[in-house]
Amino acid sequence: KTAGDKTLKLRGVTLSFGNVRAIDNLDLDVKPGEIHGLIGPNGSGKTTTLNVISGYYVAKGGTIGLGDRMLQPGVPTLRAHHGIARTFQTPRVIGEASVLQNVMIGGNIDGRASFVEALFALPRNRRDEQMLTEKARALLGVVGLEALADVRADRLQHSELRFIEIARALMLEPDFLLLDEPAAGLSGDEIERLAALIRAISRRGTGLLLVEHHADLIFDICDQVTVLNLGRILAAGTPAEIRVHKEVVSAYLGG
Ligand code: ADP
């Protein structure tokens, strides 16, 4: 409750599609620097939760806040201003643009909601452009893909695009980063690189909320894990607690 409290807090968040309660009275805390895993069977509400936090969907009830500050529902660009960035289950890139340009888009949050508009929006001046370029190059280095800066994005492999999306999200220097199945389609080596990257991001104080099917990765890197089932919390705790949680093991981990 201190002035510096920046915990991402969901309280009683509910959202239905027709008569399907996609998420039901959900409470969730992600602290700065925490790696928080969100797992559960298909249809349990994981992606809906990310979409509500990032402002793509509007909750029917409950509140989402950063510390004591409430976030307005349904405004993705405002989320960016509040320091919440995300990646998508299917990487979204502009194929004809270079990798570097695709990363630079992430720095463009001045109210232009559309991805394409952001790409073609001119930086205010050459100095802005140079700063964005340098930052994007540096972040490509962070994700290990600086050699691909000038390659067209549609020449890249799916796994490379996942890392490009993370670099783009980091352009915001976000306080929270929401990752939707970042390990999907990655090889074992690439998952290890991803794990190291996620740890490095959390060490700089960014909180991560990670929707992921890859249970080994979740248990390896997360500080906290929340298990959803039918839009409700089945269990929440540390990986050590969740691994041995009876209902989780029988309903989800298949033990
Ligand atoms: P998960 O990510 O855990 O697989 P989702 O959040 O995608 O689950 O879905 C939760 C529930 O909400 C499911 O029953 C799903 O069919 C429903 N749902 C999700 N998105 C929509 C949508 N855009 N329209 C209608 N129903 C949806």
Task: Tell me the C-alpha to C-alpha distance, in Å, between residue 70 and each of 4, 199, 201, 239.
Answer: 15, 28, 25, 29
Mean pLDDT score across all residues of the chain: 88
C-alpha to C-alpha distance for 210 and 47, rounded to whole angstroms: 10
C-alpha to C-alpha distance for 63 and 14, rounded to whole angstroms: 9
The residue among 203, 210, 144 whose CA lies nearest residue 177 is 210
- 3-class secondary structure, 84: strand
Tell me the one-letter amino acid at 98. S
Whether residue 226 has its Cβ less than 6 Å from ligand 1: no
CA of 232 to the centre of ligand 1 (A): 13
C-alpha to C-alpha distance for 182 and 208, rounded to whole angstroms: 12
Whether residue 41 has its Cβ less than 6 Å from ligand 1: no
pLDDT at 70: 83
Total residues belonging to the chain: 255
DSSP type of residue 148: G
Whether residue 19 has its Cβ less than 6 Å from ligand 1: no
CA of 78 to the centre of ligand 1 (A): 24
Task: Choose between 249 and 194: higher pLDDT.
Answer: 194
The answer on pLDDT for 31 being more than 50 is: yes
Task: Choose between 51 and 128: higher pLDDT.
Answer: 51
Would you say 89 and 112 are in contact if contact means Cβ atoms under 8 Å apart? no
The backbone torsions φ and ψ at residue 73, rounded to the nearest 5 degrees and listed phi first, read -70, 145
Would you say 107 and 172 are in contact if contact means Cβ atoms under 8 Å apart? yes
Whether residue 43 has its Cβ less than 6 Å from ligand 1: yes
Q: Whose CA is nearest to atom 11 of ligand 1?
A: 22
Res. 254 pLDDT band, cuts 50 70 90: low
- Which residue of 14, 19, 20, 179 sits with most ligand 1 atoms within 8 Å of its CB, as the best mutation to test the pocket? 20
Residues 231-244 have pLDDT tens digits of 999 999 999 999 99
Whether residue 237 has its Cβ less than 6 Å from ligand 1: no
- 3-class secondary structure, 209: strand
HSE value, Cβ hemisphere, 13 Å, CA-based, for 145? 31
CA of 45 to the centre of ligand 1 (A): 6
Helix H or strand E segment including 53: helix 46-53
pLDDT at 208: 98
- Chain-centroid distance of CA 199 in Å reads 14
Tell me the one-letter amino acid at 150. D
Res. 138 pLDDT band, cuts 50 70 90: very high
Residues 55-102 have pLDDT tens digits of 888 888 999 998 888 887 766 666 766 789 988 888 888 999 999 999
CA of 193 to the centre of ligand 1 (A): 30
pLDDT at 116: 54
DSSP type of residue 253: I
CA of 137 to the centre of ligand 1 (A): 36
C-alpha to C-alpha distance for 226 and 235, rounded to whole angstroms: 6
The answer on pLDDT for 128 being more than 50 is: yes
pLDDT at 82: 76
Would you say 155 and 99 are in contact if contact means Cβ atoms under 8 Å apart? no
Token pair, residue 192, equals 């290890």
Whether residue 45 has its Cβ less than 6 Å from ligand 1: yes
pLDDT at 125: 66
Task: Choose between 70 and 47: higher pLDDT.
Answer: 47
C-alpha to C-alpha distance for 24 and 61, rounded to whole angstroms: 9
Q: How high is the ipTM of this complex?
A: 0.97
- Provide the 10 A C-beta neighbour count for residue 95: 11
Q: Whose CA is nearest to atom 15 of ligand 1?
A: 43
Whether residue 22 has its Cβ less than 6 Å from ligand 1: yes
